[in-house]
Amino acid sequence: MKAVKGNKEYDIVDTQKNGYQAAGFDIKNDDGETIAYGKGKTVPYDEHLRLVKENAALHERVAELEALQEKSQEEATKKNTKGSKEKDGE
């Protein structure tokens, strides 16, 4: 197991994991996969703004798709209702 922070990388045992994590180190298993993130990390402001804009754009797209789906369902319901009325008249 390794504790990684910046250009520092330490081999640690499981009992040291919490201490290094509290000091801001990411904890990686022997395969190099991150299993725990260090405490007290922050996201750079420009990345935060980029994600806020992306989130807003995705919410708009979801709203568009939901409106399109609702419209399609209404049209399908109208066609089914119209078709069943014609069959009832026969």
What pLDDT, in 10s, does the model give residues 63-88? 999 999 999 998 888 887 766 655 55
pLDDT digit string, tens, across residues 1-48: 999 999 999 999 999 999 999 999 999 999 999 999 898 888 888 999
**Closest by CA position to 3, among listed 24, 19, 22, 26:** 26
Vertex 33: Cα angle to 32 and 37 (nearest 5)? 115
Q: Give DSSP secondary structure letters for 34-50.
A: EEEPPTT----HHHHHH
The encoded tokens of residue 15 equal 């009992």
The answer to whether the predicted template modeling score (pTM) of the entire model surpasses 0.85 is no
